Amino acid sequence: MTILIEQQQPQQPEFGVEGGGGKDHVVDEKELVLDGGFLVPHTNSFGQTFRDYDAEGERQPGVDIFYQNNHINQTYDFVQRMRKEYSKLNRVEMSIWECCELLNEVVDESDPDLDVPQIEHLLQTAEAIRKDYPNEDWLHLTGLIHDLGKVLLLPCFGELPQWAVVGDIFPVGCAFDKSIVHDKYFKENPDYNNPAYNTQYGVYSERCGLNNLLMSWGHDDYMYLVAKENNTTLPSAALFIIRYHSFYALHTAGAYKHLMNEEDVENLKWLRVFNKYDLYSKSKVRVDVEKLKPYYLSLIEKYFPAAKLRW
Ligand SMILES: O[C@H]1[C@H](O)[C@@H](O)[C@H](O)[C@@H](O)[C@H]1O
Ligand SMILES: [Fe+2]
Ligand SMILES: [Fe+2]
């Protein structure tokens, strides 16, 4: 089935009008060495600070346009429709590894830091975690699968536009926080002026739990649904990481805390660990996919009851 998506066009393109580098990029020198000893690089493979959305470079105009489209089209109504449709998981049957290979067809236009094939990013993340946390095999597998939802860009998954698949995520149904990348573009989102959705709590209540929020639609929530509905035995922290790994306003800028419950507070600790590896392992260091394959196949078998998953 093809989903028709009405896409609103930005009124006027504005490039790089805001000064100041990557707002959520607050790096404390003390934090540069992770618990496990992973050394955080100072620059990405383009020689720029990580997640600097205002740094001029070949990728910047495209990333800017991406966020403009994302912010004006991700509405409460849109997310509700997408969630309902994709919860059916009636499109494809395939294994996790097949999906990893498919992901190589995908280009992520939202990412200013990545220029290697996606499968390498998955394995770079997983292997960096494995080095520092050798006993947490569930976290290695989480690294491998966290971005698989990006297959939504491919024809057999409905070929969704980039703004409905990648990039940072945020809750809809309440006010958009200022810490969200390029928040200026929310002014053209129809929810921005809707009094039901534009207050601090909007349709939510204090400490209602992240599970009760509708998040902007994309690869995080989709992969969470796939893992959960295919009865993974991964722990709840793994599902939390998959579901909220692009929620930088929460895990990096500390916004939306008033909506978290106690379980979220616990899970957030693991998400923060994970995030460093997800972000800073992006490098030009190539990985040997075939050599690593047997180890990851054994983890998939351990944590997913069926070889073929419903997507
Ligand atoms: O551009 C990136 C990329 O799409 C990642 O996969 C996502 O998790 C990040 O949050 C986003 O900023
Ligand atoms: Fe991601
Ligand atoms: Fe990632």
297 domain-assigned: yes
Q: Is residue 302 part of a domain?
A: yes
pLDDT at 67 (0 to 100): 98
Residue 303 pLDDT exceeds 70 = yes
Mean pLDDT of 205-233: 98
Question: Which of 196, 172, 200 has the alpha carbon at shortest distance from 186?
Answer: 172
What domain range is 132 assigned to? 59-310
| 286 in any annotated domain | yes
Q: Does the annotation list 178 as a binding residue?
A: no
Q: Say what the pLDDT of residue 193 is.
A: 98
Please determine, for residue 5, whether its predicted confidence score (pLDDT) is greater than 90: no
Segment 143-169, tens digit of pLDDT: 999 999 999 999 999 999 999 999 999
Residue nearest to atom 8 of ligand 1 (CA): 246
43-79 confidence digits (pLDDT tens): 887 888 889 998 888 888 999 999 999 999 999 999 9
**Within-domain flag for 4:** no
Q: Alpha helix locations (H) across the chain?
A: 60-73, 76-86, 96-102, 118-132, 137-145, 219-229, 236-244, 248-251, 262-280, 289-303
Using alpha carbons only, what angle is made at residue 19 by residues 165 and 279, rounded to the nearest 5 degrees? Answer: 40
Q: Which of 6-10, 34-38, 187-191, 292-296 has the lowest mean pLDDT?
A: 34-38
- The C-alpha atoms of residue 197 and residue 190 are separated, in whole angstroms, by 10
Q: Give the Cα separation of 253 and 288 in Å (integer).
A: 34
For residue range 260-280, list pLDDT tens digits in order. Answer: 999 999 999 999 999 999 998
Spatial CA neighbour of 125 closest among 107, 105, 147: 147
Q: Which ligand is nearest to the CA of 144?
A: 3
Whole-structure pTM value: 0.89
Atom of ligand 1 nearest to the CA of 112: 1
Mean pLDDT (whole number) for 78-87: 98
State yes or no: pLDDT of 87 exceeds 90. Answer: yes
Distance CA 152, CA 170 (A): 18
- Chain segment 7-53, per-residue pLDDT in tens: 776 543 322 222 223 333 333 333 334 455 677 887 887 888 889 99
Predicted complex: ipTM over 0.90? yes
Quote the radius of gyration of the chain (alpha carbons, Å).
19
Going by CA atoms, what residue is nearest to atom 10 of ligand 1?
A: 246
> Ligand 1 centre and the CA of 283: distance in Å?
15
3-state DSSP assignment of residue 33: strand
Q: What is the pLDDT of residue 85?
A: 98
Residue 137 is assigned to a structural domain of this protein: yes
- Pick left, alpha or beta for residue 298 (phi over 0 → left; psi -120 to 50 → alpha; otherwise beta): alpha
- Give a yes or no: residue 27 inside a domain: no
Instruction: Tally the domains of the chain.
Output: 1
Cβ proximity of 170 and 247 under 8 Å: yes
d(CA 194, CA 176): 12
Euclidean distance between CA atoms 109 and 164, whole angstroms: 12
Give me the pLDDT at residue 13, please: 30
By most ligand atoms within 8 Å of CB, the mutation choice from 71, 111, 279 for ligand 1 is 111
Mean pLDDT computed over 287-291: 93
Q: What pLDDT shows up at residue 7? A: 74
Ligand 1 lined by 216 (C-beta under 6 Å): no
Region 198-217: mean pLDDT is: 98
The pLDDT assigned to 284 comes to: 67
CA distances from 208 to 203, 213, 247 (A): 11, 8, 17
Q: Measured from the CB, is residue 166 less than 6 Å from ligand 1?
A: yes
Output the CA 195–ligand 2 centroid distance in Å. Answer: 31
**Ligand 2 geometric centre to CA of 246 (Å):** 6
pLDDT tens by residue, 96-120: 999 999 998 898 999 988 877 889 9
- Known binder of ligand: residue 177? no
Mean model confidence pLDDT for the chain: 89
Residue 19 domain-assigned (yes or no) = no
- The Cα–Cα gap between 288 and 296 comes to 13
Residue 7 lies in a domain: no
Residue with tokens 């994709």: 86
Contacts of 71 (CB under 8 A, 6+ apart): 176, 180, 182, 183, 185, 186, 188, 189
Tell me the pLDDT band of 2, cut-offs 50, 70 and 90.
low
pLDDT above 90: percentage of residues in the chain: 75
Ligand nearest to the Cα of 110, by number = 1
